[in-house]
Every structure is written in C-alpha cells, then in structure tokens.
Amino acid sequence: MQTRVDLVNYVLYQAGWLALVLLAAAHRPLMATVVGLGLVAVHLALVVDRRVEVRLLVIAAVIGFVVESLQVTLGGLRFQSGTLVDGVAPPWIVVLWVQFAATLRFCLRWLGRDWRAAAGFGALGGPFAYWLGERLGAVRVDGGAAWALLALLWALAIPTLARLASGSGSIPGRYRGTE
C-alpha cells in the first residue's frame, strides 16, 4: 500500500514541478503559483496527519524563500517571470520548495535516514533541477560561482528539511484511504 502512496506523491510532485517551471517560463507566474498551491492542497487533502505536514511545508516555504532570495540578491539567479520585488524570490519558486517538501515524508523519506545521502542528493539534485529550469526558460543561473552556491545551499537545505520530516514521528507519511 505504501508503494502506491509513494507513487501518487511522486506523480503529484513531478507534475507540479513541470507545470510550475513551464508556466513561469511562459511568463504566467501567477498561474504557476495557483497551480502549485492547488497541487499542495490536493496533497494536504490526502494526508492523514495534516498538522505535522503543514508544519513541515511552512518551514520549507521559509527556507525556500530565504535560499532563493539570497541567490537573487547575490546575482546568481534571475527568474524570468514572477519577481514582485527586486532581490526577492518569486512566489512560484517558493511554492516549488513546498511541493518538494511534500515528498520528504513520502517518496523521498529515505533522505531522512542519512544526512550524507541527503546532502549529496541536494548538492547534485538542486543544481540539476535549476539546469533543467534554465533549459526550459524559467531561470537564468549566472556563472560557476552561482552553480557552486546552488550546490552548497541545497546540500545544506535538503538534510535540514529531511531531518525535520523524519523527526516528525510520523514516517512514512500516509494518505487517507490507505491506512
């Protein structure tokens, strides 16, 4: 049963990632944000222990906002659409962090078992996601130092979020109707 829950969780995240990036690249950041929040709402409607999940997602939003805004302020990232205030991350990318965090008690819960694996996943997976986002036209990563900073920040953020998710006392996450 958990395999099916993990598959649904994985599909929700992948659909969300692609939709948000493509909509942002098409200069439809508001639509990206709305679609992303809609998918988060679907996830939360399915989650059995919603209070624990909401706490994790709010923390992820704060971390994502800080990490992305830091990179924008330093000039390493330029989002093609949706930036409301100079030096501040656009809402759609923060929602993407929330969507990612929604996988940490489900299909990516294994990241909470070993901080080194989580750091490696972040150091490689974070920049890879931005590389794809850049190819699709949603973001511009400016130079080697920006790529190194992406790897470093994601190598720190993923173990932190994974630890918060695994410390929730409710691993693995469950969806309604599957208990």
Query: Are residues 43 and 54 in contact, defined by beta-carbon separation less than 8 angstroms?
Result: no
Q: What is the pLDDT of residue 101?
A: 96
Query: Are residues 55 and 43 in contact, defined by beta-carbon separation less than 8 angstroms?
Result: no
Q: What is the pLDDT of residue 3?
A: 83
pTM over 0.75: yes
The C-alpha atoms of residue 124 and residue 155 are separated, in whole angstroms, by: 8
- Could you tell me how far CA 28 lies from the centroid of its own chain? 19
Helical residues (DSSP H) of 26-114, grouped into ranges = 29-46, 50-73, 91-101
95 burial via Cβ count (<10 Å: 0-12, 13-18, 19+):
buried
The C-alpha atoms of residue 16 and residue 77 are separated, in whole angstroms, by: 21
Look at residues 74, 72, 75, 95 and name the one whose alpha carbon lies nearest to residue 83: 72
- The neighbour count for residue 65, using CB atoms within 10 Å, is 16
In a structure prediction context, what are the per-residue pLDDT tens digits for the chain, which is 179 residues long? 578 888 999 999 999 999 999 999 999 999 999 999 999 999 999 998 899 999 999 999 999 999 999 999 999 999 988 887 888 999 999 999 999 999 999 999 999 999 999 999 999 999 999 999 999 999 999 988 999 999 999 999 999 999 999 875 545 677 776 65
